[in-house]
Amino acid sequence: MDLYFPIAEMSINVLLLLALGGGVGMLSGMFGVGGGFLMTPLLIFIGVPPAVAVGTEANQVVAASVSGALAHWRRGNVDFKMGFILLIGGFFGSSFGVWIFTKLRALGYIDIVISLCFVTFLGIVGGLMVAEGARSWLRSRSSKPTPKKKLHQHTWMHGLPFKMRFRRSKLYISALLPLSIGIFVGILSAIMGVGGGFIMVPAMIYLLGMPTSVVVGTSLFQIIFVTANVTFLQSVNNQTVDVLLALVLVISSVIGAQFGTAFGSKLKSEQLRALLGILVLAVGCKVGFDLIVTPAHLFSFAVSGGH
């Protein structure tokens, strides 16, 4: 069963799209990532023009995140105060990111910058998570008593001004930290056409020291607004958001996310981290491999706006 999509200007098999959306939606609910880092490359792979894939994906991530965030909110897993600070940063970051995107595209370097961003961040984040997962797995195997963790490891970050108390996360840290994480992830979010959860989640765990239980819900909460901002800006600047394509992906991913959330809460957080790490690393390797291997076809048409 094929459907013609008006902005992508091509017909795609709906069952294939439902399967992709459902699968990515499930991961999104499980790991608290928007799923964009998987869906955008997959859409491009099935032939959707890259500009349309990036714009449409932002729109789809909005829905996937709402449904995921609601599920986590009901379990009390959202730190709204933290989410709000991240969101302010994310809003500015993503607006700036769309501006960079437009500049880079005019210069013809957007494809390579997107790919390099994917390789760099997926590689670093995935590698860290797998290493961490493997360490904790080895620890539990050797059944040595886990070294007692200090409740507060004081570093230079704790000397920063504008300290705020985040009750839900049991943290007392400078608001500048989540703000700058929000800005940074927002920029990447716009350039790479992703929600940014795969960077946000580890940043919240390792940099802010938030408890894993609230990380996923809080990340989803702020992704809703950042991707909504990207959807709006892409619609206005490039007309590359295909609502029909997004709707098909949304329906499947919303259903997938529900199963993912339920399944994710059954897994231990170490397992969750290691699994996400492997996934992130695999996508990063694939993108990196495509950069190095001699392409079958050297020529391509430049992405032309939406026209």
Task: Catalog residues that contact another protein under the rule CB under 8 A.
Answer: 2-4, 6-7, 9-11, 59-60, 62-67, 70-71, 74, 108-109, 111-112, 224, 228, 231-236, 239, 241, 243-244, 246-247, 250-251, 254-255, 257-258, 291-292, 294-295, 297-302, 304, 306
CB of 169 to another protein, least distance (A): 23
Q: Which one, 117 or 164, has the nearer CB to another protein?
A: 117
CB of 222 to another protein, least distance (A): 14
CB of 146 to another protein, least distance (A): 34
Q: Which one, 153 or 294, has the nearer CB to another protein?
A: 294
C-alpha triplet 108, 113, 116: angle, nearest 5°: 145
φ, ψ of residue 109 in degrees (nearest 5): -105, 5
Say if CB 68 and CB 25 are below 8 A apart. Answer: no
Q: Which one, 160 or 290, has the nearer CB to another protein?
A: 290
Site of tokens 């769309």: 98
Residue 193 to residue 118: CA distance in whole angstroms: 10
The residues with which 173 forms a beta bridge, in sequence order, are 164
Residue 142 to residue 121: CA distance in whole angstroms: 31
* DSSP run (H or E) holding 177: helix 176-192
Q: Which one, 48 or 82, has the nearer CB to another protein?
A: 48
CB of 160 to another protein, least distance (A): 34
CB of 227 to another protein, least distance (A): 8
Q: Which one, 169 or 231, has the nearer CB to another protein?
A: 231
Residue 124 to residue 103: CA distance in whole angstroms: 26
Q: Which one, 88 or 247, has the nearer CB to another protein?
A: 247
Burial class (CB within 10 angstroms; exposed 0-12, middle 13-18, buried 19+) of 7: buried
CB of 298 to another protein, least distance (A): 5
Continuous H helices in 193-268: 197-202, 212-238, 243-264
